[in-house]
Structure 1
């Protein structure tokens, strides 16, 4: 069983991994152009993924705090065109109960410095779960996308990558990890499959049937050589009152 010390060491390594400018998903493929118009690339102190949830806010992981710039409307970070929009972060809204040691409540909303230009621009928000969403089924196929590393300490690409990952039963996931996981999580990919997330993908969305259900949170000690242990995502449905309150008031 992993000790808390091992977990804390993992978290330090994971956060350091965010500072590597990687741009890929493990065993994924290039996303079709304009297929994921909600995807955001966050930069500043390191790099993370994120996704547009309203004209004012992008969602990401709380452990990605400190990022100051949001890029929307592009899949290739080296190609800036008329659809690419770059915004400053006006306000970071980390969940008030976020725990930097356990990564519990690992979710954050970033208020943009100005409204996202949608309409003619190739930018639009992704749907969030309804008030009473149907439970995800084990082995249900979902997708995750990002600009993270191709493998542990591996090469990087500049084009958005996407991969299908199967949902893993939460009880099984906790047994596999061999210790307590945060209660508000979803497990998908990284186990019984060579596909999953890597450093730099943090904060990106897990999308099931067109709905963003999870936020990329962590993997096993920054190891992206799968199959290994299940990848862990923050379960968005557990935070809907907090999310909706901020989106309505446009502040935190």
Structure 2
């Protein structure tokens, strides 16, 4: 049995997405490839580390953008940071868990009124069933749609582990999911790696979300299960 567990939801993000005000969610990062294209989301947890999903490593991210909610307004000199990737050593696929990666920034971020880190759990965090949390990113607003250049957020409702396990079994049968399909869908959607925010804490990481059926929940990596690993990487300043 995997050592991780996931938080899940039943709401379709496209229904509730709204623009994020400029003064809010200053921790969200755009993880980008060598062409400066948005590939995944992420979130700043300190002056020199961003958290994202481990499966985003296959998309060859080389930099992150911080300090803007509009990806059409990026100052490479002040907003773009090259990164070193620290993928969780036990990650194999989103289906097997451990979908978490740290990105060490090439230089420390200057914290200001446009860039601020978000707190992560200090230990195991138990989120109540039916809790209201938020998901944020630049991903597709609907199946077959376009990536949003403006940061958007959606309120979501969490379900319990029993429902999570039940629905997880039905996903493969209804959507014919394979590792390859996960990567193809996630690389186009763009919300992967972004934060699931409960209260003022980044409780989860977008791991995979299905658009083939609105009744199937999205899946998130539980950040609180990786506190020790995160602390180790941050302390030694390298992978």
Structure 1 residue 85 displacement after superposition? 1.1
| Consecutive unaligned residues in structure 1, runs of 5 or more | 1-24, 182-197
Residue matched to 2:88: 95
C-alpha contact (below 8 Å) 1:95/1:106 kept by paired residues:
yes
Q: Determine the structure 1 residue equivalent to 2:97.
A: 104
2:14 corresponds to which of 26, 40, 55: 26
2:28 is matched with 39
CA–CA separation in structure 1 for the residues paired with 2:66 and 2:155: 22
TM-aligned CA distance change 1:103 to 1:160, over 3 Å: farther
Partner Cα distance (1:171, 1:247) in 2: 34
Partner of 2:8: none
Rate the CA distance shift 1:240–1:101 in 2: closer, same or farther, 3 A.
Answer: closer
Using a 3 Å threshold, how does the CA distance of structure 1 residues 101 and 147 change in structure 2: closer, same or farther?
closer
Cα pair 1:174 1:180 within 8 Å, conserved: no
**Which structure is higher in RCO with an 8 Å CA cutoff and minimum separation 6?**
2
1:76 aligns with 2:70: yes
User: 1:41, 1:63 → 2: CA distance?
Assistant: 15
The aligned residue for residue 178 of structure 2 is none
Q: Which residue of structure 2 lines up, in the alignment, with residue 124 of structure 1?
A: 116
Q: 1:85 to 1:103 in 2, by over 3 A?
A: farther
Q: Give the TM-score normalised by structure 2.
A: 0.80
Q: 2:51 aligns with which of 54, 59, 70?
A: 59
- Superposition pairs for residues 158-169 of structure 1, below 5 Å? 158-169=149-160
The Cα of 1:153 is off from its aligned counterpart by 1.6
Q: Name the one with the larger helix percent.
A: 2
1:86 to partner: Cα distance: 0.7
Aligned mate of 2:127, from 136, 139, 152: 136
Structure 2: tracts of 5 or more residues without a match = 1-12, 173-187
Residue 176 of structure 1 and its aligned partner are, at CA, apart by 1.6
With the length of structure 1 as denominator, give the TM-score of the two structures: 0.76
CA gap of 1:230–1:121, structure 2 versus 1, over 3 A, is same
User: Which secondary structure does the structure 2 equivalent of 1:238 belong to?
Assistant: helix
Provide runs of 4+ in structure 1 moved above 4 Å. Answer: 81-84
Verify the 8 A CA contact 2:55 2:94 in the aligned structure 1.
no
| Offset, 1:173 | 1.4
Whole-Å separation in 2 of the counterparts to 1:87 and 1:96: 24
Assess if the C-alpha contact under 8 Å between 1:73 and 1:83 holds in 2.
Answer: no
Do 1:71 and 1:84's aligned partners in 2 also have CA atoms closer than 8 Å?
no
